Amino acid sequence: MNEPRSLAIPPALDVLSASEPVALFLDFDGTLVAIADTPDGIEVPSDLAARLEALAARVGQRLALVSGRSPGNLAEHLGPVLVAIAGSHGMARTGRDGQPVGTPPRQIADAALARIEAAAAAAGAAVERKAHGMALHYRLAPEREADVLAAAHELAATHGLIVKQGKCVAELVPPGGDKGSAVRAFMTEAPFAGTVPVFVGDDVTDEDGFRAATELGGFGIAVGERPSDSARYHLSSVSDVHAWLNL
Q: What is the pLDDT of residues 30-80, one digit of tens each?
A: 999 999 988 889 999 999 999 999 999 999 999 999 998 888 899 999 999
What's the rounded mean pLDDT across residues 19-35?
96
What percent of the chain stands above pLDDT 90? 55
* Count of residues making up the chain: 247
Residue-by-residue DSSP string for 146-192: HHHHHHHHHHHHHHT-EEEEETTEEEEE-TT-SHHHHHHHHTTSTTT
pTM, two decimal places: 0.81
CATH T-level fold of 4-104+177-245 = Rossmann fold (3.40.50)
Q: Are 150 and 123 in contact, with CB atoms under 8 Å apart?
A: yes
- Quick check: do 4-104+177-245 and 110-173 share a fold? no
Shortest CA distance to 182 belongs to which of 210, 159, 222, 156?
Answer: 210
Confidence of residue 105 (pLDDT cuts 50, 70, 90): low
Which helix (H) or strand (E) is 19 found in, with range? helix 13-19
Burial class (CB in 10 A: 0-12, 13-18, 19+), 46: exposed
Q: DSSP letter at 90?
A: T
The reported pLDDT for the residue numbered 210 is 98
> Tell me, what's the pLDDT at 5?
62
Cis peptide before 227 (omega within 30 of 0): no
Question: What mean pLDDT, rounded, does the chain reach?
Answer: 90
Parse the chain into domains and list their residue ranges: 4-104+177-245, 110-173
pLDDT in tens, 165-202: 877 888 888 877 789 989 999 999 999 999 999 999 99
Residue 3 predicted with pLDDT over 70: no
User: Which active-site residues does the annotation give?
Assistant: 27
Architecture of domain 110-173 in this structure:
2-Layer Sandwich (3.30)
pLDDT digits over 83-103, tens only? 999 988 787 899 999 998 877
